[in-house]
Amino acid sequence: MSGGSWSTLVRSLCFIGLISLIHCAYSAAQHRSYLRLTEQEFTRLPADILLQTVVSLVLICYSAAHVAGDFLPIRADTQVRTKSWDTVGNCPSFYTFDHRAKSLSPYFAADLRPQ
């Protein structure tokens, strides 16, 4: 899966879930005030608010787990077995760029140290 579009998808899913949950809170508050105005008892929320709450909760749980990033395998020794020496032994900060062209520099004679 391409990294960039997956992470934006998962972030927007989390955001949508959060907005949906807040919308449920607002709807539930409105429903309560309606019941208060018509002097009815509150037993339970209407089924659509219930369903929307549960669905947005599951959406948030799922997308928050994926927003946090990928799991990394913890076994360092078994991971290394499948890699070639070229991959593992590559250490860019130890690259050397030493060759004979430095003798063409006008300051080369000044750099020569006595043996």
Partner 1 sequence: MPKRSASATPGEENKDGPLPQYSELAIRTNIGILEYSRTCQAAASGMAAGILGLTGVSGFLFYVICVLVQAAVWELKAGLDWRTFFLDRTLSVGHSIVGGLFTYILFWVFLYGMVHVY
Region of 1-9, 15-23, 95-103, 106-114 interacting with partner 1 (CB under 8 A): 15-23
Which CB sits closer to partner 1, 54 or 90?
54
Residue 88 within binding range of partner 1, rule CB under 8 A? no
Check residue 44 for interaction with partner 1 (CB under 8 A).
yes
Which of 114, 107, 25, 12 shows the shortest CA–CA distance to 59?
A: 12
Nearer to partner 1, 7 or 57 (CB): 57
78 half-sphere exposure, CB direction, 13 A CA radius: 3
Instruction: Compute how many other C-beta atoms are within 10 angstroms of the C-beta atom of residue 30.
Output: 11
51 binds partner 1 (CB under 8 A): no
* 92 token code pair: 């860019």
Three-state secondary-structure class, residue 99: coil
- One residue of 11, 16, 42, 91 binding partner 1 per CB under 8 A: 42
Angle (deg, nearest 10), helices 3-37 and 47-67: 150
CA 81 to chain centre: 28
- Give contact residues for partner 1 (rule: CB under 8 A): 14, 17-18, 21, 24-25, 28-29, 32, 42, 44-45, 49-50, 53-54, 56-58, 60-62, 64-69, 71-79, 81
